[in-house]
Chains A and B, each alone.
Chain A
Amino acid sequence: MIGPEDVGGVHVKYLHHCRRQLWLYARGVRPEHLSTTVQMGEAVHETSYTRSSPVDLGAAKLDHLDGAAWVHEVKSSSKPGRADEAQAMHYCYRLHGVGVAAQGAILHYPKTRRTKRLPYTPQAAEQAEADIAAVLEVVSAPVSPPLLPRPSCRGCSYLDYCWNE
């Protein structure tokens, strides 16, 4: 199974989104690239924000790191969520791990033209560390986590897997 250094932004995002999704993701169930929504998102990603410079941290890959060491993440949803924040803080944590003093993260929501600024604080660092432990705990569980209530599965690319019978 994966170790602490293999935990990436997607793992953290899924942890806050749905533990079951994380458990399945770690077992190779990856229907994301089959979804029309995801393909659309990828196409948009490839053709927009061309001046941004993605940073590859191995397990994690972030959209853009600006000159003042702020992490920029572009989100295609219109509703800011807990998962987005946790993912951004995870990137800051990883950057600190390789010696880049990231100041925090700026989440971009182009759909609603909002941005959200999250400074990287000691509490955030603690939370990021706890998230990694939680990811490992979920992933190594022998039994899959339960389904979320059906309405919250709307739009999830794992819906076909979970609710098909």
Chain B
Amino acid sequence: MPTATRTYWLTTPCRIRRKDQSLRIERPDGSPVHIPITDVRDIVACEPIDINTAVISLLNQHRVNVHFLSHYGDYAGSLLTSDTSTSGQTVIAQARLAGDPAASLDIARAIVASTAANVRRVVDRKLLTRPMTILESSIAGASSREELMGAEGTFRRSAWAVLDTRLPDWLRLDGRSRRPPLNAGNAFISYVNGITYARLLSAIRLTPLHSGVAFLHSSMERQRHSLVLDLAEVFKPLFAERLLLRLAGRGQLKPAHFDVDVNQAMLSEPGRKLVVQTVRDELAVTIQHRALGRNVAYDELLYLEALQLTRTCLEGTPYKPFRIWW
């Protein structure tokens, strides 16, 4: 996302108050921190926070969104500013595209293909060659989004199994589980996916698109931001799987970073801090963008992706979802 302002990550329980044009963040220990509102792009609250009307009106004036991650680390919800960026013209174009079965299926296909390519790139190119060819043929043959999602699920299952071979015993996934995640590996993936979802929501809110009208997932159902789910697919491997492998490989993740019960697992407080810090640093990593010819942070890639979809909606340019090209 554009660099004029920055994201604030709250990793300790705190109260946010308003002091003139600043946010005053009060932690139970230590002196309060003042942050000028013009420096804030959005806030990710990883721990419970208290907030009041004065703060909300200040956030609204400056179009700052707050995202909340729940105790278990999944995405709990967002405090979104009023919808000032969505534009009727664009949303109508988006809805027209989503309502056109052929066009929306093309977009859904592209998303599934790119997601798989990213997973394969991150997890293992060799072992996933065969699942990839199977996926490609089922993508070509799919005639509905349900079929597409099914094909993706099959591919994902092989990918999770391959991922397990590269993880230490205690971090293995043994199949993906959520709400609640059953083991440490799943807890990690859920948490990072929750962050990715929140970041993408922020990115989409900066474009005139509507976050509820989607192409792969069904639109406006279960009060989820379906479009965010669509776009998050292609970015999840870049953050979740990649960071899990990296942290495990370096031995940075320890059993102490998780609270594991018989039937569920979640990140412990030090674990959460480690993960948030890692993701935050990862989002700031830059790469040379091929088309724009300048350095772009991973975080900005999410915004560029949303822009590209805007362009597809408004001008009908083919949508080429993000693929890890480096």
The answer to whether A and B assemble together is: yes
| Interface pair A27/B4, CB less than 8 Å apart | no
How far is the CB of B302 from the nearest CB of chain A, in Å?
12
Per-residue contact bits, chain B 75-92, to A (CB 8 Å; 1 contact, 0 not): 000000000011111100
| Interface pair A29/B90, CB less than 8 Å apart | yes
| Interface pair A28/B86, CB less than 8 Å apart | yes
CA distance in complex: A161, B312 (Å): 11
- Given A164-B307, A165-B291, are A39 and B207 also a contact pair (CB < 8 Å)? no
| Interface pair A28/B90, CB less than 8 Å apart | yes
CA distance in complex: A156, B85 (Å): 19
Q: Which residues of B contact A24 (CB under 8 A)?
A: 314
Per-residue contact bits, chain B 300-312, to A (CB 8 Å; 1 contact, 0 not): 0001100110110
| Interface pair B2/A34, CB less than 8 Å apart | yes
Q: Which residues of B contact A28 (CB under 8 A)?
A: 85-90, 208
Extra contacts, 6 of them, besides A29-B310, A29-B314, A35-B4 (Cβ < 8 A), are: A27-B208, A34-B206, A39-B38, A160-B292, A164-B308, A165-B320
| Interface pair A30/B85, CB less than 8 Å apart | yes
The interface size bin for chain B is 20 to 34
CA distance in complex: A111, B72 (Å): 54
The 9 listed contacts between A and B (C-beta, < 8 Å) are A27-B87, A27-B314, A28-B89, A29-B310, A30-B85, A36-B2, A36-B3, A164-B311, A165-B291
**Is A144 close to B, CB under 8 A?**
yes
The interface size bin for chain A is 20 to 34
CA distance in complex: A34, B300 (Å): 12
**4 cross-chain pairs, A with B, having the tightest CB-CB distances, nearest first:** A28-B87, A28-B208, A34-B2, A27-B89
Tell which of B3, B38, B310, B320 touches A161, judged by Cβ atoms closer than 8 Å: B310
How far is the CB of B95 from the nearest CB of chain A, in Å?
14
**Is A101 close to B, CB under 8 A?**
no
Within 8 A of A (CB), among B272-326: 291-292, 303-304, 307-308, 310-311, 314-315, 320
Q: Of all chain A residues, which has the CB nearest B311?
A: A161
Q: Of all chain A residues, which has the CB nearest B88?
A: A28
CA distance in complex: A26, B89 (Å): 8
| Interface pair B292/A39, CB less than 8 Å apart | no
| Interface pair A164/B87, CB less than 8 Å apart | no
How far is the CB of B308 from the nearest CB of chain A, in Å?
6
Q: Which residues of B contact A35 (CB under 8 A)?
A: 2, 4
CA distance in complex: A165, B308 (Å): 7
Q: Of all chain A residues, which has the CB nearest B209?
A: A28
